[in-house]
Amino acid sequence: MAKIPKLTVPSKELLNDIDVFMFDCDGVIWKGHSVIEGVPYVLNKLRALGKRIFFITNNSTKSRNGYKKKFDSLGLDVSADEIFSSSFAAAIFLEQIKFKNSGKKAYVIGESGILEELELIDVPYLGGPDDRDKVLSMGPGDKLEYDKNVGAVIVGFDRHINYYKIQYAQLCINKNEGCHFIATNTDSVSPITDAQEWAGGGSMVGAIKGCTGKEPTVVGKPSPLIIDYLCDRLHLQRDRICM
């Protein structure tokens, strides 16, 4: 285990050496629909000291604009440019590999946040909430037809995951040559409400790993993708970031 020295005077030892603070959201800024006590004070204090603040969440159910609305509802003054969700991270990855130029589509196991981010980068998609009620017939000779032009399967938290989605995803990954398997995160549990922890996005990703035998490209934390993106785009110094 790494030996990390305990801060004795945080205002001197931490604040003087850090320019940028990056916060998780679920369980750090809020629990469920309630802001955690002390958070507004801390954020206001950091801004008053001239610190830059960013919010990074592995929850892919909302887009950046969707999270902006949540911050607003909690009375927290946060700009959309300060919010980075794993749904946005999936879009960043597709842009980095120039996926749009391939002319292919993405199949989504997930919710509206991923779809909204794909729309912003003009990547065509199918799946998501549209497949929530689909049921397969598995009698003699039955098979599921799938789109041969799917070049990426994106798996995020999905409250309506079902066997149809799992089968469709495995066919695309196993049968479509070069199809990318992208996971927004592999969190085992998530503090979705303030009452208990819930099975996280890793449970959805695990189902697809199990039927494909393949490891995904993980774009959410602890992947460095968002950190790299921010440092490159905003010229941040890595040794002056606290996350």
User: What residues act catalytically?
Assistant: 19
Name the H helices within 31-175: 39-48, 64-73, 86-96, 112-120, 163-175
CA 23 – CA 173 distance, rounded (Å): 33
Note if the bond before 222 is cis, omega within 30 degrees. yes
CA 229 – CA 37 distance, rounded (Å): 31
**What residues contact 141, with CB distance under 8 A and at least 6 apart?**
none
Structure tokens at 17: 């050496």
**What residues contact 183, with CB distance under 8 A and at least 6 apart?**
154, 155, 156, 201, 205, 216, 217, 218, 219, 220
Number of H helices, E strands in the chain: 8, 13
Structure tokens at 40: 């507004």
The end-to-end CA distance of the chain, in Å, is 19
